[in-house]
């Protein structure tokens, strides 16, 4: 009879047990979903949608979500303001509310996944507890995660719209901790593409973090992640290289 069970030995050697994944541009390909959803929405209303318009919307949308993280705007206002601002800047006369409603439906139907993300999650769920921690509209996020198949690979899904707080708020992470059985902060890792919401939120809550730098941009901010990768497929090797420290 062996002195120890091999499966228990593997668990002891792992530094992390709880992997907290952001959704958009970490597991779900939000950029592609955004593009397809906007093209359909603008076509539906007979509005011009050039590459310049797409790029400008992306920048405006990102700006407003960062404002939401800083509590400078409410979510419902954000959803309309982004189209109001876009239309003003490009000189389009259109109804921002109707545009948002059509776009929201399209977005919720999009289930594009980051390259390699499904395979990574299938591999990791054998040895780790997997969770989604995401800002966004609950119905939209649930639809996308379910249609993509990612929801079936998760132990639980936490969405700011349902919690009442957004990343990087401490209250968001407190809720997550309270609703994960046996949670240990020292054995949890936050993985996400946003330095401001994912990484900052994790760091300020005392969690290790892994920054997914999909745009290959130099991090000149004061926010410093524990690890940094440029593709989600690098995560299993990173986890394998980390040993238990305590």
Q: Where is the domain boundary, 109, 141, 163?
A: 109
Residues 19 and 70 in one domain: no
pLDDT score at 104? 93
Residues 142 and 38 in one domain: no
pTM strictly above 0.85: yes
The domain that contains 89 carries what CATH number?
1.10.150.240
pLDDT score at 246? 35
Residues 129 and 234 in one domain: yes
pLDDT score at 102? 97
- Average pLDDT for the chain: 92
Instruction: Tell me what the mean pLDDT of segment 193-209 comes to.
Output: 96
> pLDDT tens for residues 117-164?
999 999 999 999 999 999 989 999 999 999 999 999 999 999 999 999
Instruction: Tell me what the mean pLDDT of segment 87-112 comes to.
Output: 95
Task: Using the predicted structure, report yes or no on whether residue 11 has a pLDDT greater than 50.
Answer: no
Q: Where is the domain boundary, 70, 93, 109?
A: 109
Q: How far, in Å, CA of 224 to CA of 164, rounded? A: 26
Which range marks the domain in which residue 97 is found?
Answer: 31-109
Task: Kindly state whether residue 192 falls inside one of the protein's structural domains.
Answer: yes
Q: Which residues are the active-site residues?
A: 22
More confident: 246 or 31: 31
> pLDDT tens for residues 22-37?
999 999 999 999 999 9
More confident: 192 or 75: 192
Residues 188 and 224 in one domain: yes
Token code pair at residue 43:
């076509």
DSSP 38: H
Residues 171 and 133 in one domain: yes
Residues 136 and 221 in one domain: yes
Q: Where is the domain boundary, 75, 109, 143?
A: 109
Task: Kindly state whether residue 1 falls inside one of the protein's structural domains.
Answer: no
The alpha carbon dihedral of 15, 20, 22, 223 has a sign of negative
Task: Using the predicted structure, report yes or no on whether residue 112 has a pLDDT greater than 50.
Answer: yes
Residues 131 and 229 in one domain: yes
Instruction: Tell me what the mean pLDDT of segment 41-57 comes to.
Output: 96
Closest CA to 212 of 228, 201, 198: 228
pLDDT score at 13? 60
H or E, element range at 3: none
- Note every long-range contact of 63-72, with CB atoms under 8 Å and residues 24 or more positions apart, other chains counting: 65/135, 66/196, 68/135, 68/166, 69/135, 69/166, 69/167, 69/168, 69/196, 69/197
pLDDT score at 4? 28
């Amino acid at each position: 009879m062996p002195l120890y069970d091999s499966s228990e030995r593997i668990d002891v050697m792992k530094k992390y047990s709880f992997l907290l994944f952001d959704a958009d541009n970490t597991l779900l390909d939000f950029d592609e979903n955004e593009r397809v959803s906007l093209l359909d929405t603008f076509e539906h209303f007979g509005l011009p949608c050039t590459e310049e318009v797409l790029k400008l919307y992306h920048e405006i949308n990102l700006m407003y979500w960062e404002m939401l993280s800083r509590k400078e705007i409410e979510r419902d206002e954000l959803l309309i303001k982004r189209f109001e601002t876009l239309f003003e800047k490009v000189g389009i006369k259109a109804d921002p509310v109707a545009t948002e409603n059509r776009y929201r439906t399209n977005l919720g139907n999009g289930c594009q996944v980051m390259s390699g993300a499904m395979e990574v999650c299938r591999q990791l769920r054998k040895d780790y507890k997997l969770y989604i921690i995401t800002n966004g509209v609950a119905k939209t996020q649930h639809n996308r995660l379910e249609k993509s198949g990612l929801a079936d690979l998760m132990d639980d899904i936490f969405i700011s719209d349902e919690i009442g707080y957004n990343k990087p708020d401490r209250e968001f992470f407190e809720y997550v901790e309270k609703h994960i059985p046996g949670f240990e902060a020292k054995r949890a890792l936050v993985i996400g593409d946003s330095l401001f919401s994912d990484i900052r939120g994790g760091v300020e809550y005392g969690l290790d973090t892994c920054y997914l730098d999909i745009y290959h941009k130099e991090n000149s901010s004061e926010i410093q992640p524990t690890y940094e990768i440029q593709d989600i497929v690098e995560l299993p090797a990173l986890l394998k290289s980390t040993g238990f420290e305590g």
